[in-house]
Amino acid sequence: MAEVIRVTFRLDAEGPTFTVKGRMAWALHELVHAGERGCTPIDRPAPRWSDYIHKLRKAGLAIETLDEAHGGAYSGSHGRYVLRSPVQVIEEARR
């Protein structure tokens, strides 16, 4: 399936629409489809998840970060991002 490159959405049924492009659109698409289980950079690798989340938050979206431990040779922790805003996707453009 083609990559999402633009998402138009609204936060409120009567509110204004917003459009995000590029990796922000991709990240929003992933968050919407992940639902309550959320997304991690481990599950859905991308270069700058924290940057995409920061920008989406600045755009008005409520996104929770849950800290999760992981084992392995490079044990530590990572963030799981969960979209908490009710988002109504109006249109998605793909390439």
Q: CA 21, CA 45: separation in Å to the nearest integer? A: 18
pLDDT, residue 1, reads 63
Q: CA 18, CA 74: separation in Å to the nearest integer? A: 39
pLDDT, residue 73, reads 92
Element (H, E) at 63: strand 63-70
Q: What is the pLDDT of residues 22-70, one digit of tens each?
A: 999 999 999 999 999 999 988 888 889 999 999 999 999 999 999 999 8
Nearest to 76 by CA among 67, 85, 84: 67
Q: What is the residue type of 82?
A: V
pLDDT, residue 33, reads 95
What CA–CA distances, in Å, run from 84 to 21, 22, 38, 57? 20, 21, 10, 11
Q: What is the residue type of 83?
A: L
pTM beyond 0.85? yes
| Residues whose CB falls within 8 Å of the CB of residue 91, separated by 6 or more in sequence, listed in order | 6, 7, 8
CA torsion sign for 48, 49, 54, 56 is: positive
